[in-house]
Amino acid sequence: MNIKKLFLFVIIGVTVASGVKVRVKNKCWWPLKVHIGNGDNGRWIDAGGDSWGTNGRSDRTWAEQPGIWGDNTLAEINDDNGRIWY
């Protein structure tokens, strides 16, 4: 394996191991509690605000508002791979 291939392999490995940077945008008129990553206890973001964090390979990201369940329009979730979820 030449040095260029080895260097590329190391960069890809570090990128995969370090996770994906995620931005959660609150689309509500009220604060939401946002969790980025499975071990995250959550943080409150104000209406229209956003929060950044990093997810591992099998982590999930979600937003919650006490008393409101199953509403996928509460937050917009973007990652640095160009994907968007609602």
pLDDT tens figures, 22-78? 888 888 788 888 888 777 788 888 888 888 888 777 777 777 776 665 555 566 666
pTM for the model: 0.59
Which amino acid is present at 17? A
Give 66: exposed, middle or buried? Use CB within 10 Å, 0-12, 13-18, 19+.
Answer: exposed
pLDDT band at 9 (very low <50, low <70, confident <90, very high): very low
Is the predicted pLDDT of residue 8 greater than 50, yes or no?
no
Count CB-CB contacts under 10 A for residue 35.
19
Is the predicted pLDDT of residue 5 greater than 70, yes or no?
no
Q: Which residue has the higher pLDDT, 40 or 1?
A: 40
